[in-house]
Structure formats: structure tokens, C-alpha cells
């Protein structure tokens, strides 16, 4: 069994909410980074301890263009294999099997509102960590 196949089997065995949290972390992390505080710091560009919507979107777009290997401004399933098929399909609004920048930005798997628990327009480290914790329960 290849590593990728082994990971697929493992992903299928864990509950969806855990998979969502994992993919959120994967999405924003630098390659191989798993420490949520470091991931938070990557998104919080100006280092003021709060993630604004602009910082969140900027990081999402950075990730998008990193993943878009063939530079067609669409993410194919092959280019974006770190999330589950169900999450991918949910984000693929026009059902063409690829995610546009718009679809990626709107995607429920990386939704600003879901992380901004108190709705003040900023994601704090506490909100970021508790979102992750919630997802893992």
C-alpha cells in the first residue's frame, strides 16, 4: 500500500468533524507544520494577535496559488488532495470538479465566521484553538 492510500484509509476511519479540523490546519499550515499556535502566527501577518478577514483571505489565496501547480487558477482534486471528497464537492459550487478562487474563498471548510466565535470581526488565538478543540471532540 502506498503512503497516500494508507492516509486515505486512515482519513475514512476518523469522524468527519475531525477530518474538517485537520484539513483546516493542513490548509493554512506551511508544509508539515502542525502546531496550531505557529499556524495562527502564519495567518496573523502583522503579528498583533488577531486575524482580520483580510489576513484570513490573503492566507487562503496564498495557499490557493501554492496548490495550483498548473497555474490555471483552478484547483483540481489532484492539486488539492488534503481535504475529503465531501468537503471538496460541497465547495465546488458549479460542480465542474475544480475549485475556482471564488469557490475556494467561499468554501465552508475555511469559513471566517465559523472561527470568529464572538463575531467581532477578528479571530483571536483563543477562538482559533477552541474551534480546533471543538472539532476534535
Q: Does 120 bind Ca ion (CB under 5 A)?
A: no
Task: Look up cell 468554501; give the residue.
Answer: 107
Q: Across-strand partners of 51?
A: 123
Q: Is 100 exposed, middle or buried (0-12, 13-18, 19+ CB in 10 A)?
A: middle
Using CB under 5 A as the binding rule, whether residue 127 contacts Ca ion is answered as: no
How would you classify the pairing of strands 98-100 and 74-76?
antiparallel
Q: Which segment (14-22, 61-69, 113-121, 128-136) binds Ca ion by CB under 5 A?
A: 61-69
Is 59 near Ca ion (CB under 5 A)? no
Q: Between 50 and 77, whose beta carbon lies closer to Ca ion?
A: 50
Interface ranges with Ca ion (CB under 5 A): 44, 46, 48, 50, 68, 70, 72, 74, 92, 94, 96
Amino acid at each position: 500500500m502506498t503512503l497516500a492510500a494508507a492516509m486515505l484509509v486512515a482519513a475514512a476511519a476518523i469522524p468527519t468533524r475531525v477530518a474538517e479540523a485537520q484539513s483546516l490546519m493542513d490548509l493554512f499550515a506551511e508544509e508539515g507544520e502542525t502546531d496550531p499556535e505557529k499556524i495562527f502566527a502564519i495567518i496573523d501577518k502583522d503579528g498583533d494577535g488577531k486575524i482580520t478577514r483580510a489576513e484570513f483571505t490573503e492566507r487562503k489565496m496564498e495557499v490557493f496559488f501554492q496548490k495550483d501547480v498548473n497555474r490555471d487558477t483552478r484547483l483540481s482534486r489532484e492539486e488539492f488532495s488534503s481535504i475529503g471528497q465531501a468537503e471538496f464537492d460541497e465547495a465546488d459550487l458549479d460542480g465542474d470538479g475544480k475549485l475556482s478562487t471564488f469557490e475556494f474563498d467561499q468554501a465552508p471548510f475555511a469559513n471566517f465566521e465559523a472561527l470568529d466565535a464572538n463575531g467581532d470581526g477578528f479571530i483571536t488565538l483563543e477562538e482559533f484553538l477552541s474551534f480546533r478543540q471543538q472539532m476534535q471532540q
